Amino acid sequence: MAKTGSALALCLLSAATAFADVEFYQTADRTKVGTEDTFGLTIVVGDAPEGAQLQFPTPDEFEVLSRSQSTQMSYQMGGGGAGVIKRLQRYNLVLRAHKVGTLTIPASVLTAAGKTWKTQPLKIEVSKGRVAPDPRAQQQQKHPSIDSLFPGFPNFEDEDKTAFPDFPEPDIPRSDSDLFLKASLDKTEAYVGEQVTLTLVIFSRVDLSSVDAVNMPKLEGFWSEDLDTPTQLAPEQRMVGGVPYRAYLLRRRALFPVKAGTLTINAAEADITTGFLFNGHRVHRKANTLTLKVKPLPSNANGPQDVNVGQWRLSAEASQTNIKLGEPIQVKVTLEGKGNLRNLSPPALNGPSSVKIYEPTTTDKLSISGGLLGGKRIQEYVVLASQTGDFTLPGLSLPFFNPETGKHEESKTDPIVLHVAPSTTGATAMGIPSATPSLGDAIHKNRLEATGLKSLRHTASFVTPAPPLWSRPFFIPLALTPLVALLSWGFVGMLRNVVAPNSPAAQKKAKTKAARAKLSAAQKLLKSGKTTDFYAEVERAVLSFLEAELASNVVGLTRPALDEKLAAFGANETVRAQILRVLDTCDMGRYAPGMGDEKSRERAIDDAAAALGGFSAK
């Protein structure tokens, strides 16, 4: 409950007046109210002394919804003397009772210079709900508006300029009275198919920054069309129970009930940010639930039961009525009015068997007029006569139920008479194409559009697909095998070197490796000008290799001794000859002129590599 007992200093400009002249009283605009009613309490202070302090009544049983003040000054002429300035201060409070019973509004107290004035306490009888219309609202209605007094003068309260003129005055909720969400229907009863407008409005006495989310209820039992969804918050001043609020339209939807009975619309919800910048707060508000009594359409004793609801006007016109055989014409059937255009069932154009009427193309154009949904549906038929003569396309009829009059009505068109003359070639009859002909050209095209569903598959494989290869049990072992084998090979070699580093096999391998390294070193000297060094390196490589393979010293052996040793090792004649030739080449390269050119050296190193390779493969 708002604090009402806080002292208020009265800063009066008037000169101090005699205490005896102080006028001080309080009045309520009603003595019988309901718990849902608001009422006004007015405290009047006339000619208060300077520095006077007013203490408002502090009724626990009432809630103060708003407070305002006004000042009135008047000048009264004295009898032959100077006039007197009278100052009247009015404090207007809007209250609402918390409970039922006879409640008391305590006295207001005015103090100045040690003196105290008190008003009379007021008795208010409170009953449950609403008791009577707000007299302040009635008073506003009784007074002619400025607009009626001054026609043409801009009227700021013109209902047509408000975004939601039919929105009824809501009840102020007991909690969240500063900011609340209200939903309303413009009718409490409607026929099936009749438009009912749902409006969702925020009422606020605080600054709004934005509406972050709006959850509209599920509109079961309704066909719904959006009428207005503002992209920006636009406030309108509204008095709710005598309390000024800013009202913001959130959504407006046209609902068309599709079944009879009592339909309930659940509460809409919204997340709203109040304040600005760093003072912003996000709050969640829930609107009220709504119910609508939906009446079934009354039965039509004189005709078929209507499926169309609203106010509709049907018209039909042909592009031309005097035609030659083979010339297609266009018949445009227009349905216009108010109601749920999308749910309309317009009549189909029929004609005699000599006239082919093709499937129409339909165009809908929705419109909103005075908050009511409506629009225009145009169906364009292409009509082609198959023989000469006069043919009549019968008039069309659209029965509908008009909820405004509560009666079944019907809109009709006149029949269209076609006069078909022989074609330019003199033909009096023709075949009718099955597809729609073009209006501009009698030669029509068979339009083939790749829209809609494609064909089914007429054969099927029922085999469930096998799991992918990577998920089969053999895949991981198969992928790891070469890697494991390679690593094992390397590891075993390393292990062998560690366990038996001086074994004959290890020594042989090391020497062979050293020999190959020497050959690589010789290869590096290939392009340098050091001929002697190059051939010495090649010779060393070959001898090192042979020492490693034969497991004995071969340096210093004569060629026949070396040949004998190689033969004893099992080297065949070709290999032996190749090795001896390489050694001879090295001797010549070191001592004989003409071996220093690059080609000779390349040949020498190729021969050495071939000899070593041949010996290894012997």
Q: Which residues bind other proteins (CB under 8 A)?
A: 215, 218, 284, 453-465, 468-470, 475, 478-479, 482-483, 485-486, 489, 516, 519-520, 523, 606, 609, 612-613
> Do residues 328 and 384 make contact, with C-beta atoms less than 8 angstroms apart?
yes
Q: Which is closer to other proteins, CB of 76 or CB of 459?
A: 459
Q: Which is closer to other proteins, CB of 286 or CB of 376?
A: 286
Q: What is the DSSP letter of 470?
A: G
Smallest gap from Cβ 612 to other proteins, in A, equals 7
End-to-end, the C-alpha distance of the chain in Å comes to 112
Smallest gap from Cβ 603 to other proteins, in A, equals 13
What's the rounded Cα separation, in Å, for the pair 589 and 601? Answer: 8
CA neighbor of 379 nearest in space, from 352, 422, 413: 413
H/E segment holding residue 200: strand 196-204
3-state secondary structure 43-112: EEEECCCCCCEEECCCCCCEEEEEEEEEEEEEEECCCCCCCEEEEEEEEEEEEEECCCEEEEECCCEEEE
Q: Which is closer to other proteins, CB of 485 or CB of 567?
A: 485
Residue 445 in tokens: 């095209």
Q: Which is closer to other proteins, CB of 425 or CB of 459?
A: 459
Q: Which is closer to other proteins, CB of 218 or CB of 365?
A: 218
Q: Which is closer to other proteins, CB of 77 or CB of 456?
A: 456
Smallest gap from Cβ 600 to other proteins, in A, equals 17
What's the rounded Cα separation, in Å, for the pair 54 and 4? Answer: 11
What's the rounded Cα separation, in Å, for the pair 336 and 345? Answer: 13
What's the rounded Cα separation, in Å, for the pair 346 and 376? Answer: 12
Q: Which is closer to other proteins, CB of 156 or CB of 470?
A: 470
Q: Which is closer to other proteins, CB of 456 or CB of 568?
A: 456
Distant-in-sequence, close-in-space partners of 18: CB < 8 Å, separation ≥ 6: none
Smallest gap from Cβ 367 to other proteins, in A, equals 25
Amino acid at 471: S
Smallest gap from Cβ 541 to other proteins, in A, equals 11
Smallest gap from Cβ 465 to other proteins, in A, equals 6
Smallest gap from Cβ 61 to other proteins, in A, equals 35
What's the rounded Cα separation, in Å, for the pair 615 and 598? Answer: 26
What's the rounded Cα separation, in Å, for the pair 159 and 238? Answer: 11
| Tally of CA atoms within 13 A in the half-sphere of 261 that contains its CB | 8
Smallest gap from Cβ 309 to other proteins, in A, equals 25
